[in-house]
Amino acid sequence: MAHPHASLPVAVFDSGVGGLTVLHECLVSLPHEDFTYFGDTARFPYGERSPVALRAFALELGELLLARGAKLLVVACNSATAAALPSLRVALEGRVRVIGVVAPESLLAAGVTRSGEVGLLATPATVASGAYERALATSAPEARLHAVACPELAPLIQAGGEVDDRLVDCVEGYCAPLRAAGVDTVILGCTHYPLVRPLIQRAMGRGVAIVSSGQAIADEVARELRLAGIERKVDRRGSYRFLCSGDPQAFRRVGVRFLQMPLGDVRRVAVAAAPPARAAA
């Protein structure tokens, strides 16, 4: 007999549309599962928020998604994972398992690097948290992390404009310190960054490995569902739906590029008001 929670969707949330790069990998790897995605576009960007604010946002969104039904929660936002994952797991303990994006990426990077010189491109909040240093130290104690805060990159990508000289120059500028450090592996520490992966690869050079969280998260989702006995039967086609806190039309317009699949209906859900992000970059 199937577990009573098996028919519930897997819930995924992010500060905006970046987490759709993670959802894409989940939809491809787990086509039989249902998913609910929440993009907190009204409070984007998260990358300049304080840890206190990020924890409040994550707890609010976790409760919001649980109220709508969820058998697993994926924090598809590096800033929120770095600031709030432990708090979120404690708050939701016994109700739902929570997966974040930092540890799986660090484990991947540890397995890929040859020199032990690992680069990180991430938001200021993620870099300041030190979460990747801690995770990499667990996976590869001898490795050194070279972190670069990229306040302008996620907002440029979220805007959904053309890939122009401004974006190219932005990527080149953030990659320059990593080239100078001689890293052989770069972690994309924000779920928006896979959208400009070709630019990052070109800036870093062909011999540098680029690590992102999508496939690693999809693998972890599959493992968690299997261990808990709450996976769906593979002979069905799952559904997916979208919620956002900002303008649904804007979310749909940009989101199609990130998901690389039809979005369909996007519903707006109100969230608690928040002051503007510091230096809203």
- The 10s digit of each residue's pLDDT in 147-186 is 999 999 999 998 877 788 999 999 999 999 999 999 999 9
Quick check: is 228 in a domain? yes
Distances (CA, A) of 55 to 68, 84, 262, 271, 273: 20, 5, 31, 14, 14
For residues 88 and 226, state if they share a domain: yes
Q: Which domain holds residue 60?
A: 10-100+215-280
Comparing C-alpha atoms, which of 9, 10, 64 is closest to residue 42?
Answer: 64
For 221-239, how does the pLDDT look when each residue is reduced to its tens digit (9 = 90+)? Answer: 999 999 999 999 999 999 9
Q: Which of 26, 170, 190, 244 is catalytic?
A: 190
Q: Which of 77, 150, 170, 244 is catalytic?
A: 77
pLDDT of residue 215: 86
Opening angle at CA 67, ends 50 and 80, nearest 5: 20
Lowest mean pLDDT among 20-24, 138-142, 260-264: 260-264
For residues 95 and 224, state if they share a domain: yes
Mean of the per-residue pLDDT values of the chain: 93
Active-site annotation holds for 77: yes
For residues 75 and 114, state if they share a domain: no
Query: For the whole model, what pTM was predicted?
Result: 0.89
pLDDT at residue 276 is higher than 70? no
Active-site annotation holds for 190: yes
List, in sequence order, the alpha helices (H) in 68-164. 78-91, 102-112, 124-129, 131-139, 153-158
Tally of domains within the chain: 2
For residues 117 and 205, state if they share a domain: yes
For 170-181, how does the pLDDT look when each residue is reduced to its tens digit (9 = 90+)? Answer: 999 999 999 999
What CATH number does residue 112 fall under?
A: 3.40.50.1860
Sign of the four-CA dihedral 112, 193, 29, 226 = positive
For 28-43, how does the pLDDT look when each residue is reduced to its tens digit (9 = 90+)? Answer: 999 999 999 999 999 9
For residues 34 and 172, state if they share a domain: no
Quick check: is 2 in a domain? no
Quick check: is 5 in a domain? no
* 8 A C-beta contact, residue 48 and residue 279: yes
For residues 127 and 266, state if they share a domain: no
Quick check: is 171 in a domain? yes
